[in-house]
Copies of this chain bind each other. A is one copy, B any other.
Amino acid sequence: MTLSLSKTVGEIGERGLLRRFRERVPAGPGVVVGVGDDAAAVEIAPLALLTTDSLVEGVHFRRDQAPPRLLGRKALTVNLSDVAAMGGLARYATVSLCLPPDLTLGWVDSLYDGLLERAAESGVALVGGNVARSPGTIVVDVTLVGEAGQLLRRSGARPGDRVVVTGTLGAAAEGVRLLDEGARLDEDGELCATGVWTESSAPAVLACLRAQLDPRPPLALARSIAERGFARAGMDLSDGLSLDLVEICSGGGVGAVLDADLVPVDSRAAGLERARGGDALSLALHGGEDYELLLAVAPEAFEEMGELARVWGVDVTRIGEFVEGEPVVRLRGAGAETLLPPGGHDHFRTAPA
């Protein structure tokens, strides 16, 4: 069936869109029945991982800010991050879309491009698709099925364990600010507008926009860390360090003390924040959507874990310690220790975008 890319979702209809999806999805290893029957049938290990996460227009993204191809990539990525943070291997995904009738097939095709591309990169087979008309809001809901290896749980942190994060923090939150200032990536993830920023800031703008629109969690490292038993507890940083760390603390019945000076604030985000007179440390502590790993690591395991991380080309940083006490986080800096209120992302509580 040949379809014009300028046709709308409303003209093509639910079945036309599903047919399109079905035609584009390749056969995958382990897929006995793929898209197109009542349910998919897939081969799976005896212990499976399941997670679901959605991207909602006006809450997690804006249509004029997120190119659909990158949106497709991110919808899968946020779930990949969850499976990896459990120490698992992602295998199969189903996608449920709510689409307003005025969207074009071109837009939907780009979304599929991103989903298919990210699935191929991560060895995931897309096995189910559902399309529903939405009165106005786009929703991209992905459920991911993986195979468990050594489980990496949120519980298990003990007093004396190091608080460890991978990568740098704050760039994704900086990306939101940049989008609101008119900076943009095109479909290929290249910079096509710097917004209020001059050309000299372009590399930093690009890096932060990519962190927001096309995050790259350390999937393989997460799995390796779990396999080698290097972390006592772990999760992915999606809601912001201050909030997510309370989760690990609650899970282990411990508190945590962070060193402000040790937090790996993203240098590009820091540069932009300095220029606007903002506070990059606050973005790193509360911003969210970094999709890095937050880990509780026994002191004796830290060095070996660092070596493993270097193999995967990922920085790991010790930013504090778990301590006995209530599940609260204290921040040490400038000679004082203050309570760090959990100030991360809660999409219900923040103002609509």
- Kindly specify which of A302-310, A312-320, A329-337, A343-351 makes contact with the partner chain: A343-351
10 contacts between A and B (CB under 8 A): A13-B346, A38-B236, A39-B83, A39-B88, A39-B146, A40-B50, A42-B50, A46-B46, A56-B133, A96-B143
- Kindly specify which of A57-65, A168-176, A256-264, A269-277 makes contact with the partner chain: A57-65
- Kindly specify which of A112-120, A147-155, A203-211 makes contact with the partner chain: A147-155
> What 1/0 flags go to A3-18 for Cβ under 8 Å of B?
0000001101111010
Asked whether A352 and B153 contact (CB < 8 A) given A42-B50, A52-B94, A92-B50, the answer is: no
A98 within 8 A of B: yes
A1 within 8 A of B: no
Copies in the complex: 2
| Nearest 3 Cβ contacts at the A-B interface | A39-B51, A143-B143, A52-B94
A134 within 8 A of B: yes
Docked Cα-Cα span, A314 to B290, in Å, equals 53
Q: Give the residue name and chain of the B residue nearest to A42 (CB).
A: B48
A301 within 8 A of B: no
Q: Which residues of A contact B (CB under 8 A)?
A: 9-10, 12-15, 17, 32-33, 36-44, 46-54, 56-60, 81-83, 85-86, 88, 92, 94-96, 98, 101, 127-128, 130-137, 139, 141, 143-146, 148, 151, 153-154, 235-236, 243, 346-349, 352
Q: Which residues of chain B come closer than 8 Å to A235, judged between CB atoms?
A: 37-38
The smallest C-beta distance from A177 to any residue of chain B, in angstroms, reads 20
Q: Which residues of chain B come closer than 8 Å to A146, judged between CB atoms?
A: 39
CB contact between A135 and one of B47, B85, B132, B137 (< 8 Å): that residue: B137
